[in-house]
Structures are given as C-alpha cells and as structure tokens.
Structure 1
Amino acid sequence: MNSYQTLSAYYDRFTDDVGYEQWAEFFVALFAREGVEPKLVLDLACGTGSLTRLLAQRGYDMIGVDASPEMLMQAMQNTFDCEPRPLFLNQRMEQLDLYGTVDVCLCCLDSVNYVTEPAVLQKAFDRVHLFLEPKTGLFVFDINTPEKFARIDGNSYVREDEDVFCVWQAAVEDGLCAYQFDIFERDGDAWTRAQETHEERIYTIPELIAMLEKAGFSEIKTYGDQSFSPVQGGEDRVYITARKRD
C-alpha cells in the first residue's frame, strides 16, 4: 500500500539528496528544447511539493496533485510563501479531474512505477491526455528501469537523521518491487517504531509507449537520466516525453 501515512512526515528529511534544483533546471531546458512556453504546469504525484515550489519560484503557475492527503499537507506548508500559491488537489492519477487544461504535465520520481496495475496506468494516461492543452500540450515523466530494479533486488538501505533512523529493503517478484520501510524515532529515552510497505511495478519502455499511443499521444521521445542523450541501456532512470497534437 503506497499511502505515505507514516513516511510523509519524514520524506523531505530522507530525500535531501534528490537534487530538486537540478530537476527544475532540467525541465526548464526541456521546455525550451520542446518549444513550449508553459504558463500552467501540473505536477502530478507532487508529493511534498519540493519541485512544485521550485517551479513556482521560476514563474510558472502550478497545480499539484497527489493521492496522499498527508503528503499534500506537507506540500502546502512547503509552498506557503509562494506567490501565487500553487493549487493542490487530493486525487489519484487515474481520477485526475481539473477545472481546465494545462500546458505541461510533469510526473516525477518514478511515480508512474507506483501505479502497479497497467489498466489503471492506462486510465491515468487517458486523463492526462484529456486535460492537456490541445496541439501544444507536453507530458513528461520518468521511470525506474528494469535494470535498476534488478540492481536493488534483495538489498537493504539505511537513512538516519537526528533522532530518526530508517531502514528499507527491496524485494522483486512477479514484476513488482516491494519496499519494506521501518522507521525508528527517539521519544525521550525510548524508541518508537513504524512500518510501511510500498510497491512499484516494473515497466518497459515499449510497454509505456504503447500505452501513450493508445491514449492519443504522439511524438514520443526517450532520454537518459536528466540528459538529452538517447537511452543507451543500463540507466537507472529514463525520461519519456509525449505530445498532445489534437
């Protein structure tokens, strides 16, 4: 269950190595490369709003959508000083329902992998296509590759901060990667323990391209991790862009 009920309070503390500034700069360069000048940008599966905030600071009107109310509470706190304030909506990807169209939809940090049912992901792509601006709309997302899942299978990882200790394990089986999180937090002289399990599905690029085409997207491109180089194979993360050319 990918609820983030427990992890939401610690997420930013344990992802301080993500490099959101580099992500934001990459997307600005990507917009220029694709010839789009977006005014309204959707951050789909926005999490705690770290990227939403950085793009808002660069002048984009932002909408953040996430299925986790706990993550959205963090996002609202993280963007309280943005002007204009981003609009946040508590929605699942496959139930995306906006008030109008957006110029660009971003879906980052392997959020697509978190949609573990292919039929549900197809519905999500359909909804993104529906709410993108006709003729110019751009959809951008990244995935964890099958190669990455093979590399982390069976491994354990540790992150720690002051008075908080997190250990997580990855296990791949039947096309799914399960992450078991154990979070320990100091409470006076004792420690409290919380557990949470997340799952990601392993998708191949051809599978995703077929889904995008079925949703009506065209001009589908793939890039290596935060680069404009062709996918060589072996990358941990790749980016996919698609256009709405209705």
Structure 2
Amino acid sequence: MGGVIIIYSNFAFYYDRLMKDVDYSKWADYIEELFKRNNSGPSMILDLGCGTGSFCTEMAGRGYEMIGIDLSPEMLSCAKTKALEKNPDILYLNQDITSFELYGTVDAIVCLMDSLNYITYKNDIKRVFNLVNNYLNPGGLFIFDLNSRYKLEHILGDNVFYSNDSDVVYIWQNSFDKTKGISRFDLTFFVENAGLYKRFDEEHY
C-alpha cells in the first residue's frame, strides 16, 4: 500500500461535525463550472477519497451517477447511511485509491479535500494517475486539489488548532518535516458519554 495509511477510523463518526463549515453545494457549483469551461457534460462521476459521501450526495442530488471510493470502512459506513436517506443509488467501494478497480469507465473523476496529499510516495501518485487514465473516458476530466508546501509549512506548520463543544473536544497538532516535505497531524478527541469523556487518537500524514 506504499505511502497510504488507514486513517479516519474513530474520527469518521465526527468528521462531518468538524467539517460543518465546508459548503459542499458551492464545491459542486465550482466543479460544474469547470465542466462547462471544458465543454464536458459527464453523467457518471467517480469520487476518489469520498469520505463520508457529502460531495457524492450533493452531486447525486443534481442528477449525476456517482461512485465513491475510500480506504476507511468507517467513513464509508457514514456515507452509506447518507445514501440510504437521500440517494440510495450511489455506489460506494472500499478500496485503496492507488490500486482501485472498476467494472467500466467513467466520464469524470474528482479527488477533493486534499486527499492526494495523503499519498507520500511518487510511485503511488503515478499509480493513481495511471488508473485515472485507464478508467476515464476520452475527453473526460480529472479534477483534484492539493495543499501546497507553503500551506503545510507556513500556515499549518507547527501550530495547534482545537474545537471545544459540549460533547466533543478536538485537538489538532501539526508538525512539518522540512527535509521530507511531509506534514504530520496528531489528532486527539475527548468524546462525552454518560458524563465521562473517552479519549482516542489518530495520526495523519
């Protein structure tokens, strides 16, 4: 699996709360604008690193056929719950985006929310792009975003962020390795349950 590690386990069930400021409707508007600029009219879209399925859900609501791939079973569990409530036809696959397989091709592929930053080996990045090329119909678009080195080093850097709600406390500690050009995020959660707080930790690279 190379530079990809399994993350978003316990975090998955609190991800949407902590990402509540992300406007997926505006994201969808922007992606559709990119389609228009490039004279692309996709009907089937693949979302690599789909997480809890918020973008898939938004796009499915606009009439697109959506496939979502994610490495975290917990994130996909949240995504499938949303699908049952709103868009039961979304197909979710528990796969590594560096080695994913589809039964056929798609019209467009997206990889959003800095998902490609989690791939830290060049050969794995090449594998992703080769697979995208393999499964993308001629003329289709691959749309992705990345955190720049500047952001990782100078904005996130060695800073600490936190969120303090009544039932969940979240601490996000960052460190940046200048030699390797890799950020490490140490996430600590304290989750209230029957008056007590349970702690769990995750490491993200």
The TM-score by the shorter chain falls in which range? Answer: over 0.9
Q: 1:53 to 1:83 in 2, by over 3 A?
A: closer
Q: Which moved more, 1:97-106 or 1:74-83?
A: 74-83
Residue 69 (structure 1) aligns with: 73
- Between Structure 1 and Structure 2, how many residues are aligned? 198
Cα distance per residue 1:57-85 (max 9 Å; x no partner): 01100000011111001001112134461
Specify every segment of 5 or more residues in structure 1 that has no aligned partner in the other structure, as ranges.
200-246
Q: 1:99 to 1:192 in 2, by over 3 A?
A: same
2:196 counterpart letter in structure 1? A
How many Å apart are 1:162 and its aligned residue? 3.5
SS in 1 for 2:145: strand
Using the size of structure 2 for normalisation, the TM-score is 0.93
Q: Is the 8 A contact 1:13 1:161 kept in 2?
A: no
Residue 53 (structure 1) aligns with: 57
Q: Is the 8 A contact 2:112 2:144 kept in 1?
A: yes
2:94 to 90, 94, 99: 90
Residue 153 (structure 1) aligns with: 157
Pair 1:28 & 2:32 matched: yes
Residue identity (%): 38
List structure 1 runs of 4+ shifted beyond 6 angstroms. Answer: none
Question: For 1:160 and 1:193, how far apart are their aligned partners in 2?
Answer: 14
Pair 1:144 & 2:150 matched: no
2:196 to 175, 181, 190: 190
Q: Which moved more, 1:179-188 or 1:157-166?
A: 157-166
Q: Is the 8 A contact 1:66 1:91 kept in 2?
A: yes
Question: For 1:106 and 1:165, how far apart are their aligned partners in 2?
Answer: 31
Q: Which moved more, 1:176-185 or 1:16-25?
A: 16-25
1:112 to 116, 121, 131: 116
Pair 1:171 & 2:175 matched: yes
Cα distance per residue 1:154-179 (max 9 Å; x no partner): 10001233301100111000211000
Q: Is the 8 A contact 2:100 2:131 kept in 1?
A: yes
How many Å apart are 1:103 and its aligned residue? 0.3
How many Å apart are 1:121 and its aligned residue? 1.2
Q: Is the 8 A contact 2:44 2:66 kept in 1?
A: yes
Using the size of structure 1 for normalisation, the TM-score is 0.78
Q: Give the root-mean-square deviation of aligned CA atoms.
A: 1.2
